Amino acid sequence: MGMTTSHFGAFFKVSPHPDQATDFGQIQTSNFLPAIEHGIEVAKARLQSIKADSSTPNFHNTVLAIESATEELEQVSGVFFNLLGALSDDEMQKLAKQISPKLAAYNSDLLLDSELFQRVKSVWDARDQVNHGSSILSGEERQLTEKVYKRFARNGALLTGEKKEQLRALDQELSKLSPEFSDNVLKATNSFEMHLTDTAELEGLPESAIDAAAEAAKERGKSGWVFTLHQPSISPFLAYSSRRELRQKMWLAYNARALETNPALVQRIVQLRHQRAQLLSYKTHAHFVLEERMAETPEQVSSFLSRLLLKVKPAAERDLAAVRTHKKDVTGDDGFMPWDYAYWSEKLKMKLHDLDDEQLRPYFKLENVIAGVFEHARRLYRIEFRDRNDIPVYHPEVKTYEVVESGTGRHIGLFYADFFPRASKRSGAWMTSFREQGLFQHIAANKVLRPHVAIVCNFTKPTATQPSLLTLDEVKTLFHEFGHALHGLLSDCRYVTLAGTNVHWDFVELPSQIMENWVTEKESLSLFAKHYQTGEVMPDELIEKIRKSSQFQAGYFALRQLNFALLDLAWHTVDPNSIQDVVSFERSATAGSALFAPIDGTSTSTAFSHIFAGGYSAGYYSYKWAEVLDADAFEYFKEKGLFDQEVARAFRDHILSRGGTEPPMQLYKKFRGREPDPDALLRRDGLI
């Protein structure tokens, strides 16, 4: 299809908006496919020019030229996939099924091109040569060369002709399955609603949950109250509803999402990944993935998870026993099912710590929490977030900010925040970029550009009677995603491939998870936890309750994460031809980390988007791995002071700004002065 200016212009014209922000108002869904097709044509023409260059291959005419060949293509596809997650509809989902295979085909064309690979290999082979006493490759040049060389070598460049075609076919099929998996989960999440019309059925629910359900009913043109499987609806329902049969209905619906549509996709995805790994001479998909992670091998991940499981499982069993006992003490009934856990856990927390989420909500007005997280950034890293109303957005609810260095006003980047659930948005919370930081040879005539970073969440919405009041968990989620955003915004690298969050996936959660630690500290809470009606700062006694309850059920929640990590590892370390049934395989894989007997008609795998539609396949362990890093790193802050400038400067200089320019353990040791202490996590959780 030919390319017209109107299709392409929305993405690449010199935008009248600050820092050439993406002009969403000019982009129509019909623009994406022709813009991506044109981006592929442009990139292919550049690759041909690289191959036609008769001069000796070097970093600039080969490695950097390959990296920059796809600038426009990556810009357009990045916007597309961001909107597919945050503002999807049937047209976008159909487009994804056309676009993903086209991108996969281009990727195969690039990585299976033996002429290009030979040029890259010759630069890599000469990496240790010196010229006039210094290496011909600088630090970042060498790191990028290694990354590009490995990308070719690990994705088929060393294969012979027939095997290259087999790999191409596998990648084509895989590219279609992940969007389909994700689409099925979104449809299953949106298709369920529990419509209540009797006030007796609302027993136990807080006013905030009832108001939100009334709003949801009104949006659907119904009377009464509607509860959904989106987190701001299901979480308070399971935690507070006194109606056990309704909790059961909600829990079962959530845990059965996409069970009808996704089992065959799960099996096919793991089969294709396994075949792909074996074609590339790796034992399993996990061996392929982990070669480029801090953990290095499935054996090391398995050992790491097993060591944690030894400490965590007994603690989780004690946690669950305490909740069960409390239920029996109150009701005289010994029966206990998964849909009882959140409810009775909340009751036990109230008994032990005189604390529940509803007491805290009035102090966590969303706007105050946003101001609080910005104040943390100012105190730690000397940056400021300024409201901008002149930057285009893709949905009216999206907020925009310009980020500048305090004092000098130097431009750091743009920040977008999209906070509330809607039918067009997938569940969960994530950080993403509309433009990465780094050198752009074509889009910006050889300039290093600043990033445009976004966080997308699904928080409690405001209602007719009150503003958005967050739970403590939602506050932690906001701080977490903001940590990822800081990693993107404070990047100070030369090359896009190495910049921002382009680091090993078991390192990328360090900047996000460390931010959660501030949320339970008095010095932090006093900055933003103010009652939405009175403006009163959260009282000391409430802060003390938060601190004392911070280890409440820590074993249970740690085991839940280990359960997910072990399930992920199991899917990607066995021969999938031995798997007869998704549900029975899942049960055997998680038997050692499960606290409840399996329940028919439920499955984790069929809605496990992190590993089947996101980038976490053979990588879900990363959350626990990075928790060790963040617990150890935060001990350094606590030792020196929560906002200590020396520690904050070291964290910015060696972690947040350096991206993937050096191996992650080297960066961590530069920050901390040593390797992380593996017991730091267990200390924080009170497990040792």
Closest CA to 380 of 188, 524, 539: 524
Separation CA 131–CA 129 (nearest Å):
7
State the chain's mean pLDDT as an integer: 95
Name every residue whose Cβ is closer than 8 Å to that of residue 280 and which is 6 or more positions away in sequence. Answer: 154, 155, 156, 159, 167, 288
Provide the pLDDT for residue 133: 63
Provide the pLDDT for residue 679: 92
Residue 157 has pLDDT above 80, yes or no: yes
Residue 543 has pLDDT above 50, yes or no: yes
Provide the pLDDT for residue 5: 44
Q: How far is CA 17 from CA 25, 409, 454, 664, in A?
A: 11, 18, 17, 36
Separation CA 1–CA 362 (nearest Å):
55
Predicted confidence (pLDDT) per residue in 578-620, tens digit: 999 999 999 999 999 999 999 999 999 999 999 999 889 999 9
Separation CA 656–CA 662 (nearest Å):
12
Of 5-14, 45-54, 422-431, give the lowest mean pLDDT range.
5-14
Residue 108 has pLDDT above 60, yes or no: yes
Provide the pLDDT for residue 614: 85
Provide the pLDDT for residue 302: 98
Residue 442 has pLDDT above 60, yes or no: yes
Residue 478 has pLDDT above 70, yes or no: yes
Half-sphere exposure of 237 (CA within 13 A, CB side): 31
Separation CA 298–CA 287 (nearest Å):
6
Q: How long a stretch of residues is the chain?
A: 688
Which has more pLDDT, 567 or 688?
567
Residue 477 has pLDDT above 70, yes or no: yes
Predicted confidence (pLDDT) per residue in 81-107, tens digit: 999 999 999 999 999 999 999 999 999
Using only C-alpha atoms, the chain has a radius of gyration, in whole angstroms, of 25
- Show contacts of 222-225: CB within 8 Å, 24+ apart: 222/195, 223/197, 224/195, 224/196, 224/197, 225/195, 225/196, 225/197
Provide the pLDDT for residue 1: 29
Segments of the chain assigned to CATH 1.10.1370.40: 5-111+113-154, 362-554+623-684
Residue 10 has pLDDT above 90, yes or no: no
Q: If pLDDT is split at 50, 70 and 90, which confidence band does 14 have?
A: low
Q: Determine the 3-state secondary structure of 433 from DSSP.
A: strand
Provide the pLDDT for residue 4: 41
Report the share of the chain in percent with pLDDT over 70: 97
CA dihedral 90, 95, 96, 101 (to 10 degrees): 150
Q: What is the mean pLDDT of residues 472-490?
A: 97
- The pTM assigned to this predicted structure is 0.93
Q: What is the mean pLDDT of residues 143-155?
A: 96
Active site residue 367: no
Separation CA 438–CA 71 (nearest Å):
11
Predicted confidence (pLDDT) per residue in 213-242, tens digit: 999 999 999 999 999 999 999 999 999 999
Distance of CA 470 to the CA centre of its chain: 20
Separation CA 29–CA 645 (nearest Å):
46
Q: Answer yes or no: are the C-beta atoms of 155 and 280 closer than 8 Å.
A: yes
Instruction: Confirm or reject CATH 3.30.470.20 for domain 5-111+113-154, answering yes or no.
Output: no
Provide the pLDDT for residue 129: 86
> Which of these is catalytic: 140, 436, 481, 521?
481
Predicted confidence (pLDDT) per residue in 637-681, tens digit: 999 999 999 999 999 999 999 999 999 999 999 999 999 998 999
Of 136-145, 267-276, 593-602, give the lowest mean pLDDT range.
136-145
Closest CA to 62 of 13, 21, 113: 113
Residue 551 has pLDDT above 80, yes or no: yes
Separation CA 441–CA 462 (nearest Å):
44
Place of tokens 């089992």: 263
Predicted confidence (pLDDT) per residue in 513-524, tens digit: 999 999 999 999
Architecture of domain 362-554+623-684: Orthogonal Bundle (1.10)
- Tokens linked to 324: 């069960």
Predicted confidence (pLDDT) per residue in 164-218, tens digit: 999 999 999 999 999 999 999 999 999 999 999 999 999 999 999 999 999 999 9
Q: What is the mean pLDDT of residues 56-65?
A: 96
Residue 485 has pLDDT above 90, yes or no: yes
Residue 3 has pLDDT above 50, yes or no: no
Residue 134 has pLDDT above 80, yes or no: no
Provide the pLDDT for residue 688: 83
Predicted confidence (pLDDT) per residue in 347-383, tens digit: 999 999 999 888 999 999 999 999 999 999 999 999 9
